Chains A and B, each alone.
Chain A
Amino acid sequence: MSMETLSSGAGVPRAAATPDPDTFPKLVARNAMRLPRKVAIREKDYGIWQSYTWRDYLNEARLIALGLASLGFARGDKTAVVGDNRPPLYWAMLATQALGGVPVPLYQDSIETEMQYILDHAEARVAVVEDQEQVDKILRVKDQCPRLEYVVYDDPRGMRHYKDKGLVSLEELRARGRAFAEDHPGHYEAEVAKGRADDIAIICYTSGTTGQPKGAMLSHGNLIVTAANAIAREGLRASDEVLAYLPMAWVGDHMFSFAQSVVAGFTTNCPESAATVLENLKEIGPTYFFAPPRIWENLLTSVMIRVEDAWAPKRLMVHFFLGVARRVERRRLARRAVPVGDWLLHRLGWLLVYAPLTDNLGLRRIRIGYTAGEAIGPELFEFYRSLGINLKQLYGMTESSALVSIQQDSDVKLDTVGPPLPGVEVRISESGEVLYRSPGVFQGYYKNAEATRETLENGWVHSGDAGVFDTDGHLKIIDRAKDVGRLGDGTIFAPKYLENKLKFSPYIKEAVCVGHGRPFVAALVNIDLQSVGSWAERRNIAYTSYTDLAQKPEVYELVRQEVARVNGTLRDEAPLRGAQIRRFLLLHKELDPDDQEITRTRKVRRGFIAQKYAPLIDALYSDAEHAQVDALVTYEDGRTATVRAQVKIAGAEVFAAEGGR
């Protein structure tokens, strides 16, 4: 066979034994027995962290389940769940599973049309939502979703005058549940007992970069076995704390804040609101923390801004010790001995800089930190590891119950995603695509046999990612298989690789590189309003709006230096040296999921951008110094408007191999 196959732990049976207990409702019942007083989930409400034990978790879910049963909820029915991470919404998912139903979490910032598509496609019979905002959205599309009968809302604020049929408050639902329990004693337990490992536990709609979302069906067995394997390998325990702040509709949150929490018994913490996440992170100090590169970037940017604003001696001290940390970390990653001088400085740096800094970020207690979703910029990854945070890269997707491979504690590299997890087999196809099969492999896309056939072949999933194995058996993801291109002269062009380098700059929020079939690489750049704004303020540069700031000559000069820095780092990387960025422009608006330029998980939609900004891209490859752009923007309420702007185009310095320019 010409294909490389790799699995972790030879002889691991692929179809792992059925787990026991075999469903989430049964696991929660077990937790309530074994760990009745252990805190299962916390939520900050009215300024105070409110705790719920595993016994509370079970009781709350039972009450909601009985309430749903009183509405006639039957096995196989679907419940849409929409809102920020809130304990009642997690309970509603468990309640649905307890009745043999399937929860379908939706992104809370979806606009109406997206919501309507999923509600209708999933045939949701009940929607459990957080508040008035979500109720309003659902009521407006309810007529197009004939199967949707009930909308249950948690927060009663502003709901007093709603008289719509089928609208039920969570409080009413609980009351109905209590009444139902009196007439049907033992109903909950009897329904839970009917559950089986191969029942569908959740349908996660993937916010694909192309086409309509697809609903990946994951069974209880998929999620429980995957969670348990990762728990064993990573050494997670009931005393761990995790912060649930990423969308509930994303399979990662479902794995970390629900599946693993239930299997291992650890505590999930729900922040007060989306705006208080960083503050809540500091208060909780999680021991187990996942963040996509974008969040790690935001954290770094927020620190660096404060460092730059600090008193000069402090600033110099921070920069000095961060430099030491980086040197030490580089040697460690390269498995070389650390010189005594640096070792001593590193210890001192821990006292003076690293410990206070990680404490301030809320990362001090982290035993295991993950990043995934996109390749992380090497500089960014190094930065956190150099502070002593056990940050590791993992790889996975919805179709694999979130996890395929994770780096091991003692064996972390900058540019890999580690070896496959126990029970997972990975191989690289002839075209360079990553394929895998595991007990976590999904049951197919809901009502989409064609897409299922395209993705799932004899139990192997086509990931759509281009990857290679390195000599140590680590998987390395280069880019999306379809995004890796070649310049006109045949030089390899991996856009994401360049974009990540650009995005390590605190001043650059998002970047899109183009170059496939072109003579050179060009970049469309989004500045970071927060940090460039504060940079401009320090220099007394007045601006009125994002668009205005982005077109300031001083800002162009600032970004030009950042682009040159990225080009400089490519100088020593032989295959990519030819793919330096020669021309760039600063976009007049931020790329926005509402405009379909990036997905809700902030992945760039290249095809769409290439089309939408075609005039800008053409201008980048002409001699023009300006380009005119008309862009349609979509507001959160669904209204649209056209924005016209004049965008400047600038060149950047490029470097030849060491020794000359």
Chain B
Amino acid sequence: MSGAPGAGPLLEVDAISVSFGAVLALNRVSLAIARGEIVAIIGPNGAGKTTLLNVVSGFYHPSEGRILFDGTERTNLRPWEVAALGIARTFQNVALFKGMSVLDNIMTGRLVKMKGSILLEAIYWGPAMKQEMAHRAAVERIIDFLEIEAIRKTPAGRLPYGLQKRVELARALAAEPTLLLLDEPMAGMNVEEKEDMCRFILDVHDEFGTTIALIEHDMSVVMDISDRVVALDYGRKIADGPPHAVRTDRVVLDAYLGVAHA
């Protein structure tokens, strides 16, 4: 059912399964994300949320099922190929280059956009210089957007956790993604930092029209910012719908409140 690019959902995950040894982390999960949507993925610990993100971003390959991006099958791509397609992500445990400045960290996000010969880059001349300046300008717009001017030159490892998360978001944005995958962007933050992050996510969505899939545990955040919620439990999809419907869904409540599973 692969339609023409531009029509249909941006991302389609079609009955994928992933297993680690005897553990079935994802069990025939299907999911479609439309262009411009913000979709929250919820579920108890070990439900398979991060695995799902890892499959989409090419870290794992599914044992069955397929993934379509923009209407074309993209099931077994490597992570860098996925990135080149326009999918960027952040990690549950911040994964920044700790010794590098914030600016350089975000600059690495531009790598997928950089072309040109190593030779010209090395002597920093002509088109290479022009390209570098264009990338720097793009990065500065993101720095301005996420209000991190004051830490531009600070080594990422010296920043508090909340700011590291923001820098990670900045790096993901630097790739100008059409689909942004956020793995617990607000974990470990205080209320104020969470509010800031919510605002930034909504601003990104508004400003760049980026489609966003995020994993989040804080239900108030989920209710506030997502258009649709997908709930996973034991590798299966147990609910998919508007936030308020999913929140009151019996099966979801059972999964969270820990009703005995037969």
Name the residue among A45, A46, A161, A275 with the largest chain B CB count within 10 angstroms: A46
Check if A279 is an interface residue, CB within 8 A of chain B.
Answer: yes
Q: What 0/1 pattern do residues 125 to 149 of B give for CB contact below 8 A with A?
A: 0000000000011001101110101
Q: How far is the CA of A276 from the CA of B141 in the complex (A)?
A: 16
Known: A46-B137, A158-B199. A276 touches B207 (CB 8 A): no
Whether A161 contacts B206 by the Cβ 8 Å rule is yes
Q: How far is the CA of A160 from the CA of B208 in the complex (A)?
A: 11
B239 vs chain A, min Cβ distance (A): 28
Interface residues on B, range: 10 to 19
Q: How far is the CA of A279 from the CA of B154 in the complex (A)?
A: 12
Whether B144 contacts A45 by the Cβ 8 Å rule is yes
Check if B152 is an interface residue, CB within 8 A of chain A.
Answer: yes
Q: Which residues of B contact A157 (CB under 8 A)?
A: 145, 203, 207
Whether B145 contacts A279 by the Cβ 8 Å rule is no
Q: Which residues of B contact A45 (CB under 8 A)?
A: 144
Check if B257 is an interface residue, CB within 8 A of chain A.
Answer: no
For B203, the closest partner residue in chain A by CB is A158
Name the residue among B141, B150, B206 with the largest chain A CB count within 10 angstroms: B150
Q: How far is the CA of A581 from the CA of B222 in the complex (A)?
A: 54
Whether A160 contacts B206 by the Cβ 8 Å rule is yes
B203 vs chain A, min Cβ distance (A): 5
A576 vs chain B, min Cβ distance (A): 41
Whether A272 contacts B149 by the Cβ 8 Å rule is yes
A639 vs chain B, min Cβ distance (A): 11
For B151, the closest partner residue in chain A by CB is A275
For A278, the closest partner residue in chain B by CB is B150
Q: Which residues of A contact B141 (CB under 8 A)?
A: 46
Whether A46 contacts B144 by the Cβ 8 Å rule is yes
Check if A273 is an interface residue, CB within 8 A of chain B.
Answer: yes
Q: How far is the CA of A309 from the CA of B207 in the complex (A)?
A: 44
Whether A158 contacts B144 by the Cβ 8 Å rule is no
Q: How far is the CA of A276 from the CA of B154 in the complex (A)?
A: 12
Q: Which residue in A46, A48, A275 is a CB contact (below 8 Å) of B150? A: A275
Known: A46-B144, A47-B143. A276 touches B150 (CB 8 A): yes
Q: Which residue in A47, A160, A161 is a CB contact (below 8 Å) of B152? A: A47
A281 vs chain B, min Cβ distance (A): 13
Q: How far is the CA of A273 from the CA of B199 in the complex (A)?
A: 19
Give the number of residues in A that approach B within 8 Å (Cβ atoms): 13
Q: Which residues of B contact A276 (CB under 8 A)?
A: 149-150
B213 vs chain A, min Cβ distance (A): 21
B174 vs chain A, min Cβ distance (A): 14
Q: Which residues of A contact B147 (CB under 8 A)?
A: 273
State the main secondary structure of chain A at its contact with B. loop
Q: Which residue in A47, A160, A279 is a CB contact (below 8 Å) of B140? A: A47
Q: How far is the CA of A442 from the CA of B160 in the complex (A)?
A: 48
Q: How far is the CA of A619 from the CA of B190 in the complex (A)?
A: 35
Q: Which residues of A contact B202 (CB under 8 A)?
A: 158
Whether A158 contacts B150 by the Cβ 8 Å rule is no
Q: Which residues of A contact B145 (CB under 8 A)?
A: 157
A-contacting residues, B244-259, CB 8 Å: none
B115 vs chain A, min Cβ distance (A): 23
For B191, the closest partner residue in chain A by CB is A635
A83 vs chain B, min Cβ distance (A): 14
Q: How far is the CA of A79 from the CA of B57 in the complex (A)?
A: 51
Q: Which residues of B contact A158 (CB under 8 A)?
A: 199, 202-203, 206-207
For A275, the closest partner residue in chain B by CB is B150
Q: Which residues of B contact A273 (CB under 8 A)?
A: 147, 149-150
Q: How far is the CA of A279 from the CA of B141 in the complex (A)?
A: 19
Q: How far is the CA of A273 from the CA of B137 in the complex (A)?
A: 18
For A44, the closest partner residue in chain B by CB is B149
Name the residue among B149, B199, B203 with the largest chain A CB count within 10 angstroms: B149
Whether B149 contacts A275 by the Cβ 8 Å rule is yes
Q: How far is the CA of A402 from the CA of B164 in the complex (A)?
A: 43
A629 vs chain B, min Cβ distance (A): 24
Q: Which residues of B contact A47 (CB under 8 A)?
A: 136, 140, 143, 149, 152
Q: How far is the CA of A272 from the CA of B145 in the complex (A)?
A: 13
B-contacting residues, A9-51, CB 8 Å: 45-48
A124 vs chain B, min Cβ distance (A): 27
Q: Which residues of B contact A48 (CB under 8 A)?
A: 140
Known: A157-B145, A158-B206, A273-B149. A46 touches B140 (CB 8 A): yes
Whether A160 contacts B207 by the Cβ 8 Å rule is yes
Q: Which residues of A contact B143 (CB under 8 A)?
A: 46-47
B197 vs chain A, min Cβ distance (A): 14
Q: Which residues of A contact B140 (CB under 8 A)?
A: 46-48
B-contacting residues, A44-72, CB 8 Å: 45-48
Q: How far is the CA of A272 from the CA of B152 in the complex (A)?
A: 12
Q: Which 5 A-B pairs have the closest CB atoms?
A: A275-B150, A46-B140, A47-B140, A276-B150, A272-B149
**Could you give 19 example pairs across A and B, Cβ below 8 Å?**
A46-B137, A46-B140, A46-B143, A46-B144, A47-B136, A47-B140, A47-B149, A157-B145, A157-B203, A157-B207, A158-B199, A158-B202, A158-B206, A160-B206, A160-B207, A161-B206, A272-B150, A275-B149, A279-B150
Interface contacts beyond A46-B137, A46-B144: sample of 6 additional A-B pairs, CB < 8 Å, sorted by A: A47-B136, A47-B143, A48-B140, A272-B150, A275-B150, A279-B150
